[in-house]
Amino acid sequence: MKNFFLNNFILITLLGLLSFFIFLSVSIHNDEFCCNLTRLEKIKKTGVLKLITNNSINTYYYYNGQPTGFEYDLAKEFADFMDVDLDVVSPGWNNMFAYLKQGKGDFIGSGLAITKKRIEKVNFSIPYMTIQQRIVYHKSVTGPKNIKDLAFRTLHIRRGTSYHSRLEKIKKSGVNLHYILHDNIPTEELIRMVNDRKIEFTIANDNVAYLIQRYYPDIRIGIALQKKEYFAWAVNKNDLQLLEQINEFFLSANLTGLVQKISEKYYSNFENSDPFDLKKFHQRLETRLPKYKKTIINESRKYNFDWKLIAAIVYQESHFNPTAKSSTNVMGLMQVTTSTAEEMGIENRLNPAQSIKAGIKYLDKMVKKFDYIKDDYEKMLFALASYNIGYGHVMDAMQIARKMGLDEKMWQNLKTALPLLSKSDYYTKTQYGYARGWEPVQYVDRILVYFDILKQTKNITTNY
């Protein structure tokens, strides 16, 4: 036997090593997949949830080096709901379903409308948004008045979208329209081409169309192409446990107001934006903002504010006019009152640098008053409302919200309570009395629109 081992030492050693590596491989495989783990079990085991989405303004993009976007924020909340980390895969629109099928991501969240064709491929979650497809065209072009008026017009759309499916149906119904398909071109890029007069017509869901009209105020949003559709997340047909978890999240998120909160962050007041006001804003970004941009940036840095937010406030207050004066005698770029000017240590409210300095310093004071609000975004909205109507009135509105059984630390609830300050049934029971409470709501909404435009300027122009 001893001679046998000596004579076959190399062969025995190789067989031993081979057995060891086979055992190791099987162990690793079983450890990772643990005998056919479900998608949900794998997510919980790895601690990572993988979102498949498209890189666009209304879904997922980077601002100041940080990921943001409606779908990203919603998915991040879902990851927190599951107590796992969020990873994002953005393979391009045409590749999202392939990535889902191949297991390169756990679910698709990308402004995906529920359609019959897609239901055959995937399972959809509870819907989280209602939208409508609309024609988008330049203001110099006559838009179609109805579906039949699409005849002999050429529309440019992205392949594989619900727009594509809708135009197929319209054409089969007998309307002699033409459409050109594009691969992996975001809707906002097609709208930019409309704005630049390179194409005449495209289609966009109304939430996207009105959002992008902020950046291109010369576009017009025309007729709806069909009844309302619904956005939902998509999972593979066999991932029923994950689908159940997503639905549980959406039920909770709708009940707590989370979906509404995120929607308002990105789409607040989007249908009521005035194209003429937006046009004026874009013009004054070029003609007036450059005079004060450096001061705004420098003063914003002192308080760790995003200078583009401050620029949005300045425009809302004065349209970048340093001699602006209101009927109540507030003056200057940031419409500082006499008492606030004294408190902030400035002498001349009409001096642009002094007005900016005082306004930012006062805004910082308002922000600090709401330090107990943990969400920084929400905290800023309360501070902006206080800048406009006064801290005391905001506290009164918070008291009203609390008496109504609402969470007074949520801006969407304060938007309900603030307008009640103009009604005697409410303001007579408050400390600071009557106020035109609808004004701070409109004020904050407009600032958020201007801020959103400024955040996207890197994608639009380099002039400012």
The residues carrying an active-site annotation are 317
Rounded to whole angstroms, the maximal C-alpha distance in the chain is 109
Amino acid at site 192: R
Beta-bridge partner residues of 181: 157
Which region holds residue 134: left if phi is over 0, alpha if psi is between -120 and 50, else beta?
beta
Q: Which helix (H) or strand (E) holds 68?
A: strand 66-68
Q: How far is CA 22 from CA 8, 25, 32, in A?
A: 21, 5, 15
Q: How far apart are CA 350 and CA 436, in angstroms?
A: 26
List the structure tokens of 224: 């709806």
Q: Which residues, 6 or more positions from 342, have their beta carbon under 8 angstroms from its beta carbon?
A: none
Buried b (16+ CB within 10 A) or exposed e, 144-176: beebebbeebebbbbebbbbbbbbeebeeeebe
Scan for tokens 């100041």, then name that residue: 64
